[in-house]
Structures are given as structure tokens and as C-alpha cells.
Structure 1
């Protein structure tokens, strides 16, 4: 009898442990939300997932806010905290007249809407039509690489510089930049950023930078 009681007690403890794990690993549907008035600032790192008129905020909108998670749909007036990106736009509840944006963490080759923020350290390698951004183009994000082509609207992260500007079919009619990591004595196009620790020492001729024949020679400071 004592052995049977022990087995039952152990089974009950296991069930309780499983339940505790389930609570700790709450699904996105269980993510905690808070309601604030539209006159208040959205706390850093939070997003707006619902817009409504309620008695909580007479004469103002009531915003439901939460911490972002993979696939969360936020209202278009919501901040989009780094490093989240917008992959899709929809219309309809619960955002009133505002579009809903679907957020995801960036990964290599992800397609995002052109109005999505581009997280620090990522570049745009393609721009084109897509049916999921409410009539706007999408753009592909990648991590930078040596001699990579990036679209003209792309950031150029440190320590990369622009060594060529060419016409390109992959950037929706815009030019494409060729980027590479900076080194002492590199000659860059005049549209290139100058990474920290380097300076434009002198002008230098270039033949791969559309729109100009002169670039800059960078030296380590």
C-alpha cells in the first residue's frame, strides 16, 4: 500500500511539474497586455495590438499594448522596436482604420515590406513587387558580405564601404552599391560612408561609381 501511495504521489508531482513548465512557457496568445490612453507614450519595447474607444479614455483612443513576439500583429501607428521587421500588412479589426503589421525577427533572406525598419547590421539586397504589403514593394534583407551588391536605399553598416555603384535589375530601377570591408588605402565612391577610425585623405579617380569620376582614398587615422 505504501509503495502504491508513493507511485501516486510521484505521478501527481510530475503532473504539477508539467503544468508549471506550461505556465512558464506561455504561448503568444497568453502574452500579458496592458491598456493605456493614446495621450500616453508607449513604453520602450512595447507594441500596440488594438485600438478602441472605451470609457477608460474618454475622448481619446484606448491602446492595448504588449511585448512583441514572433508573428504578432500590431497596429500601423505602433512603434516597431528593434530588431523586429514588418513582413505583411492587413486591414481590419482590431486596429480600427489602421493597417495591421505582422512582425518577425530578421533572418537571412527574409522579405519585409519597404516601410519596415531595417535593423542595425542588415542590408537590402533586392526590392520588388509582393502581394502581402498592401500594394507596396517588398525588400530582401541579408547580413553584409564582401563584394555584395546592395540596393541604393540600403544602409551600409560599419565596417563596410561602397566601392562601386552600378545599374541593377534587382533594385526596382535604383542603382546597386557594391560593398566591402574597409582597409587602409581603399578607394571608395563619394556616396560611401567613412567608418570610424578612417578619414578621407584625398580624392582619387574611380571608374565604377556611376555619376562621378572621382572618389575618396581612405586612410586609417
Structure 2
């Protein structure tokens, strides 16, 4: 059975493709080790490839459940790193990680990417098949409690933070809620696109460590705090005195539609 080799260019990266003529399909896809990995692929082995300037190439594949990938491989969403990789370095010249599809209440390794829409709800610092501990993830829902190192899901804000035994003393815990017109959010919460800050409060950490912000959807001539984002389609057209934005901001901005 004769192996055929060719070099193709993919998004500026030299990819060595090897195929078996008897089947007419590619048995392996290899990208030169000094080139970028195509989006959506993972690295599964390091091989010798004379056609590459570096002399080596990464064997790449589309990801699948319970797959072992090289430690330096990208992990495409919605995949995550799960416990019990492989410390044998023969295949990759480095240890391998195990990946799986993100799902509800899944245990993943600390340091794994978190897919969009998921939050971290529990931290276990004792290694149990992972190098430096594990996280548990869930899909975000309105009012969910998540750890402070959790990404903020698109369209969400956090409205409370405090300490929690399930998240450890380092990160604490936050309550995530879907953003809505006219709500108090923690001062260090991100503000979703399209919203403005119209009031700022210092509550001495009773609800949020750094105080709170009141967010609204903009209306014509609305007065917003200088710390507020200005949504697309709006501009500042002046200012007005205010006592709603804290001692550091005696003036509010007046917003007008473009």
C-alpha cells in the first residue's frame, strides 16, 4: 500500500497531508510544528516531517469525547479538560490531556477553558486526576451562585458577592443574574452592551465588596455617571450636577441619540 504525501497551504500554515491511495482519503493531517493549528482542531502527536522547515509536525484531528491531546494543544469550545490525562510523553514529547464535551455538573481540571454560558460552581483544590485541582461547572441560569473566578456569561451581571466554603477563600462566591432594565449590580461587575450606569452606591461591602451600580437602558436625555459605558448609537451632549454618582463624580453626562 503506497503512501502519498503533499504539502498544502491552510491560512498561511504549511500542512503536510499523508494519504493512502487504496482508500483515497487522508489517514493523517499534519501541520508543521512552527505554524498555527487550524481553528477547531487538536494536536494528538508530534511526528518527523522532512517537508516542514522545522523537520517536525503536529498530527491534528477534530476533537471527540474522551480524547487524549497534547498538553500544548488548543481546546476548542465546547470541549474542556477533564481528569486523568496521560503522563507518558512518547506520543507528543509532552504529557497529554484528556478532553470531553462540557455538560451540566461536569468535573473539569483547573486551568481548563470554560465554554461560553458555563460558570464554575465548586472548587476542589485536592488533585483528583488533575495537576492542580478541579472545578465543577454548570450552565448559567438566573440567580445561580458561582465562584468568583468564574467567567461572566454573556448578558449576565453579578448582584452579590461573599465568602463560601465551596469556592475557597481566594475567590469567594457571586450571584449571577440576567441583566434587566433598572437593577442594582456590583460595582466590579461588567456592564452588558446597551446598558448605562445612572447611580453609584457605597454600601460598605454589605452586599457587594466595592459597592453597587444602578443600570438602565438609555432613553433620550438620560443622565449617566461618568463611569458608565456609552452604548453604540448614543453620545454625550452635555453635563448636569448630580449627587447620584458618588462623591468623586459631582457631574453626570447627558446622553443623546446620534
**TM-score, length of structure 1 as denominator length:** 0.81
Q: 1 or 2, which has the higher strand percentage?
A: 2
Q: Secondary structure, in 3 states, of the residue corresponding to 2:168?
A: coil
Which residue pairs with 2:196 in the alignment? 161
**C-alpha separation between the residues in 2 aligned to 1:77 and 1:65?**
13
Residue 184 (structure 1) aligns with: 220
For structure 2, the residue ranges without an aligned partner over 5 or more in a row are 1-63
1:218 and 2:255 aligned: yes
Of 188, 200, 203 in structure 1, the residue corresponding to residue 239 of structure 2 is: 203
Q: Does 1:49 align with 2:86?
A: no
Q: Could you tell me which of 154, 166, 184 is aligned with 1:149?
A: 184
Describe how 1:46-195 pairs up with structure 2 within 5 A: 46-50=79-83, 51-57=85-91, 59-90=93-124, 91-96=126-131, 98-135=132-169, 136-168=171-203, 169-172=206-209, 174-195=210-231
Show CA shifts across 1:144-182 (max 9, x none).
22321100111111322100001122002x120011111
Looking at structure 2, the residues matched to 62 and 71 of structure 1 have their Cα atoms a distance apart, in angstroms, of 24
Quick one: distance in 1 between partners of 2:147 and 2:105?
14
Choose 196-205 or 105-114, whichever is displaced more. Answer: 196-205
CA contact (8 A) 1:162 1:177 kept: yes
- The aligned residue for residue 37 of structure 1 is 70
Per-residue deviation at 1:57? 4.0
Alignment coverage as a number of residue pairs:
189
Unaligned runs of 5+ in 1: 1-30
Deviation at 1:143, TM superposition (A): 1.1
Q: Report the TM-score when normalising by structure 2.
A: 0.70
The equivalent residue for 1:17 is none
Whole-Å separation in 2 of the counterparts to 1:134 and 1:59: 35
Partners of 2:217 and 2:114 in 1: CA distance? 29
Contact 1:46 1:81 (8 Å CA) reproduced: yes
Cα distance in structure 2, aligned partners of 1:41 and 1:124? 29
C-alpha deviation, 1:55, in angstroms? 4.4
Q: Return the structure number with greater relative CO, CA threshold 8 A, min gap 6.
A: 1
